[in-house]
Amino acid sequence: MKRRPARSLLEQCVARGGVLKGSRVAQYTIAWAIVWRDLDREPTVSEYAEWWKESERTAYKHQAEFREAFPEYATPAPFVPAIHTATGEQLDAMLEAMRDAVATRRRGTAGPPAGLFKLMGAVRV
């Protein structure tokens, strides 16, 4: 049976990393784009970890999974313009809602919210 080419960010990530890892890679990519949007520049892994109140070790684990799925890229930077274009207002609204939630979170608790999955299907790469 012939497969259709992956179209959304989530589909592309799942095609390259499987369902579980691909979902985490897509979530990391959207979360990276949110931090980029807030800082108005590409974040470092340390800034990403600090923004989401994750340990640096966890952030590097996410980056390693991303690099396994997309070995041609060091960071999700190539996907960011498509994410910002496709989800601009939604991303801004999510950013505003998450700033307060993340600010009150303790370091080491859950990272990006599962609500990011809604955006993943909207992004075409």
Q: Which of 68, 67, 87 has its CA nearest to residue 77?
A: 67
Instruction: Report the pLDDT value the prediction gives residue 40, as an integer from 0 to 100.
Output: 92
As a three-state string, the secondary structure of the chain is: CCCCCCCEHHHHHHHHHHHHHHHHHHHHHHHHHHHHHHHCCCCCHHHHHHHHCCCHHHHHHHHHHHHHHCCCCCCCHHHHHHHHHHHHHHHHHHHHHHHHHHHCCCCCCCCCCCCHHHHHCCCEC
Q: Please indicate, yes or no, whether the overall pTM of this predicted structure exceeds 0.85.
A: no
Instruction: Report the pLDDT value the prediction gives residue 37, as an integer from 0 to 100.
Output: 87
10-residue block means of pLDDT along the chain (125 residues)? 70 91 91 90 95 92 96 94 76 69 61 56 57
Instruction: Report the pLDDT value the prediction gives residue 88, as an integer from 0 to 100.
Output: 67
Instruction: Report the pLDDT value the prediction gives residue 82, as an integer from 0 to 100.
Output: 83
